[in-house]
Amino acid sequence: MKISQVAQKYGLSIDTVRYYEKAGLIDPVAKNESGRKVYQEKEMRRINFIKCMRQAGMSIENIKMYVDLFHEGLDTIPERKTILENQLKKLMHQQEELDNQIGFLEDKIANYEQTLVKREKARKEIENI
């Protein structure tokens, strides 16, 4: 597959795909006779993984660490697991904060609701004079 197709398939820009390679998240991609990169199954799976991790809020730096550990073989599984667990902790913390923030906004909106109702009532009373 060529880069434009890969980008299309994973909903990334061509630049982003190249950027991931520059950043060392994807191993150097082999090229055909005319110098164009040809993405194989292996690269595709890697890109899919990166995409998932990015969606899970993991930084490029952390994905890089993870990928580097992956290269070192099976013995690094515990370390890789730790990276994932830390990310999970981060997300769960974010979830708590999000809940608070949602509560805060709901209150504030309810407050405005009240104010609007009161203003409307006041307006009607004036009309009734």
Partner DNA sequence: ATTTGACATGGAGTCGACTCCATTTGATAA
Partner DNA sequence: TTATCAAATGGAGTCGACTCCATGTCAAAT
Number of Cβ atoms within 10 Å of the Cβ of 67: 20
Rg (CA), the chain: 25
Write each residue from 27 to 66 as x if it is in contact with DNA (CB under 7 A), else as -, in one continuous string.
Answer: ----x-xxxxx----------------x----xxx-----
Residue 31, helix vs strand vs coil: strand
- Dihedral (Cα; 31, 37, 38, 41), 10-degree rounding: 110
* 31 phi and psi angles, rounded to 5 deg: -120, 155
Question: Is the Cβ of residue 2 or residue 121 nearer to a second copy in the bound state?
Answer: 121
Write each residue from 66 to 95 as x if it is in contact with a second copy (CB under 8 A), else as -, in one continuous string.
Answer: --------x--xx-xx--xx-xx--xx-xx
Interaction site with a second copy (CB under 8 A): 52, 55-57, 74, 77-78, 80-81, 84-85, 87-88, 91-92, 94-95, 97-99, 101-102, 104-106, 108-109, 112-113, 115-116, 119
Interaction site with DNA (CB under 7 A): 2-5, 13-16, 18-19, 31, 33-37, 54, 59-61
